[in-house]
Chain A
């Protein structure tokens, strides 16, 4: 990790309150990995805000986020050419291990890290299915999905685009006759919790990228912990990617 600045090259407002940023890539020595995030200083809030990386090339980074509160709303006002003060890349990334024929599952704004992961999977010539769901059609952004050879399944809660149903529902439907070797997911807490249950039932290992409130983002303050089978773990440093089997999944989400 380093403390540095980057500048916004392109900004695209998508649907209601979603943003795709393309920025310069200041991390020349250590390439960011899927699942990692940047801790971004926001003018107008006290704390930095952790934002997932949605892609990286040698020259550019992509950030995808949804406006959820004051921080993301201020971040959305960044203009082309503006400089952002960032610390990164942070967190433990996804790893494919030796898995092939894998399922990448994204819900809502969770498509950010999954996009990055899908691009990496394409580069590594992994066989994979991308399952991407959102509440409704206007929150499902097909044009940001990478081109290439992979199976794509879209779904919406109301059926307005793709299959009707939630991401976990469709996983349970599809994994019955297509034995994926592993599931990689990012999305809202309850989606991940259902995937954790499913993983436990079917024995298919699953890895998820968590999102929670953070303070330092660098592993020192212990503010962003979640309960695991081995005490509390820091989302920023021990995660944000965890195997679902390592965590306990309380009824109450962490944030």
Chain B
């Protein structure tokens, strides 16, 4: 089955994306993950200056979730372009560069630096929960507008705004990004959480991901699809192929897999298989025709 997916103007072989931050700079996992099942490469979030990240003791498992506090450790955009980019270009996939950090000027300089022909699209990570900031850009519609509009003025490439689920109404922040010129929304990031370690009697505050957050993430996709007109990348807790399909049916044009892909490298393949089977069963030939058909929005007349 042909799973060619149009994510806005980005043509991808499948709707499956690695979630930023779980895929290194893009080429490290070629021996383990079947890249043919991925629609694009998504880099870890790049910053203008290299970032050391947060102190050790960065991850803990908690039930069906993982808490992490990496703090955007990365080599910086310049070293990325010199060292990593030539390697991922060879993989012949669309390249989505994620940019972010706690310094708005640095973020814009990074966007400008990445405005090169190798890069297909730019994801603005407005929602990293591990930077010590009390309020995320993605929690403030005005701040979102400013960041997106500034980035918009620097590049014609598709801009993806990576939102946070930590808002009263994600439709409001999604609309703010759309109004300011974002072409695509990434429905989420990790949830802010804390695990208490009884052995050491200390806490680890960080972003919660993994299987356990799936229903919460699915809700963000549903709510965004109700409100916006631009495509949505759904992500958060997808751990089974059917989770990915559910996200598409509720409004995601593409889906991101993070935590579980590093545990089950075959998940992208399983996702593609389940989507293909579903399309066959429903006699649908274009995957984009599946998007949102069970959301109940707008002119859709089917049952849901």
Interface residues of A (CB under 8 A from B): 1-3, 41, 45-48, 87, 212-216, 218-227, 231-232, 254-255
Contact = CB atoms under 8 A, between A and B. Distances in A.
Nearest to B26: A220
B60 A218 contact: no
Contact residue range for chain B? 20 to 34
B83 interface: no
A44 to B, nearest CB: 11
A188 B64 CA distance: 28
B32 A225 contact: no
Interface of B: 21-24, 28-29, 31-32, 44, 52-53, 55-61, 63-66, 68, 70, 73, 210-211, 259, 262-266
Given A46-B263, A220-B262, A222-B73, A254 B28 contact: no
Given A47-B61, A232-B73, A220 B23 contact: yes
Nearest to B22: A221
A232 B56 contact: yes
B68 A45 contact: no
A83 to B, nearest CB: 14
A3 B265 CA distance: 8
A47 B265 CA distance: 13
Given A45-B61, A231-B52, 12 more contacts: A1-B31, A46-B210, A47-B263, A212-B56, A218-B29, A221-B59, A223-B58, A223-B70, A225-B56, A227-B55, A232-B53, A254-B56
A26 to B, nearest CB: 14
A255 B73 CA distance: 19
A224 B65 CA distance: 17
B53 A46 contact: no
A221 B64 contact: no
16 contacts: A1-B32, A41-B264, A46-B61, A46-B66, A47-B66, A215-B68, A215-B259, A221-B70, A222-B73, A223-B58, A223-B70, A225-B53, A225-B58, A227-B55, A231-B52, A254-B56
B207 to A, nearest CB: 12
Nearest to B28: A220
B121 to A, nearest CB: 20
Contacts of A221: 21-22, 59, 68, 70, 262
A220 B265 contact: no
Best-surrounded residue of B52, B56, B68, B70 (most CB of chain A within 10 A): B56
Contacts of A46: 61, 63-66, 210-211, 259, 263
Given A46-B66, A46-B263, A216-B262, A2 B21 contact: no
B24 A48 contact: no
A53 B29 CA distance: 22
A218 B30 CA distance: 11
Nearest to A227: B56
Contacts of A254: 56-57
A48 B32 CA distance: 15
A221 B44 CA distance: 9
Given A87-B265, A219-B24, A225-B73, A232 B63 contact: no
Contacts of A222: 53, 58, 70, 73
B227 to A, nearest CB: 32
Contacts of B61: 45-47
